Amino acid sequence: MSSEFRVDSFIVGKIFNPGYRSVRSVEEVNIRFINNSNDTVDLCWIDFQGNLVYYLKLDSREVVKLTTFIGHYWVARFIRNGATAQFLPDRTEVFAITKRLCHTGIVFITQKVPTLFEAAVEHIGELFHKQQYALYWLPVPELIKFDIYFYIRRKRIYQEALNFLSTSRNLLRPNHNSNVRLQEPLEVAGAEWREVENQMENIEEN
């Protein structure tokens, strides 16, 4: 088994089998997701078998309100490179509601602040993503080369998988309407907007 195949298999497993499973529930929860990052994300539901199910694309600053259920898990990944986004206020890469809410929950989708090393790996990975084998001649330690190579492979695998995920959405959506009901994107207004501002202030203070 080649090292490239092993790396690709690991990446595919991390993306499509995140290690969580949604729990069947009849307790509905209304959530408003706000993409507070500068990039477009894919918002995905994790089904009862632990598989990733594409649900919708959320552009930067876009808002969507949907009805989910207690015990259902959600993941957001950036389209441009497949990296996982963070959900605020808990700063987690996987989001789930664990208790009943008496109002619409507001959840921000953000990008984790990268370390200097992570930023450098991403920058070099973007430069080499169309010619990954040129990495062999890059005058950097092998461990750093591997991190760059991993970034390139994740980006390529995720972008190639987008067509499959989009097709799966159309096939699976009728079966999942009883699990997650999507509503049209709505603007945040009035009391909910004040709640958004308060949550943003609390996040900045922390």
Tell me what percent of the residues of the chain surpass a pLDDT of 70: 77
In one letter, which amino acid is 116? Answer: L
> Tell me: the pLDDT tens digits for 189-203?
444 445 555 555 555
The residue segments making up the domain with residue 58 are 3-203
* pLDDT band at residue 97 using 50, 70 and 90 as cut-offs: confident
> Tell me: the pLDDT tens digits for 34-58?
999 999 999 999 989 888 888 889 9
pLDDT value of residue 193: 47
pTM for the predicted model, two decimal places: 0.71
pLDDT value of residue 38: 92
Q: pLDDT at residue 65 above 80?
A: yes
Selection from 7-11, 82-86, 197-201 with the highest mean pLDDT? 82-86
In one letter, which amino acid is 175? Answer: N
Question: Across residues 125-142, what is the average pLDDT?
Answer: 82
CATH code, domain with 41: 2.60.40.780
pLDDT value of residue 1: 47
Query: How many residues can be counted in the chain?
Result: 206
The residues pairing with 160 across neighbouring beta strands, listed in sequence order, are none
Q: pLDDT at residue 184 above 50?
A: no
Nearest to 15 by CA among 79, 70, 72, 63: 79
Q: pLDDT at residue 178 above 70?
A: no
- Total domains in the chain come to 1
pLDDT value of residue 78: 93
Residues 6+ apart with CB under 8 A from 60: 35, 37, 38, 39, 40
Tokens 């993409």 correspond to what residue? 35
Segment among 109-113, 123-127, 144-148, 187-191 with least mean pLDDT: 187-191
Q: Between vectors from CA 128 to CA 122 and to CA 131, what angle results, nearest 5°?
A: 150
3-state SS, one letter per residue, for the chain: CCHHHHHHHHHHHHHHCCCCCCCCCCCEEEEEEEECCCCCEEEEEECCCCCEEEEEEECCCCEEEEEEECCCEEEEEECCCCCECEEECCCECCEECCCCCCCCEEEEEECCCCCHHHHHHHHHHHHHCCCHHHHHHCCCCHHHHHHHHHHHHHHHHHHHHHHHHHHHHHHHHHHHCCCCEECCCCCCCHHHHHHHHHHHHHHHHC
In one letter, which amino acid is 114? Answer: P
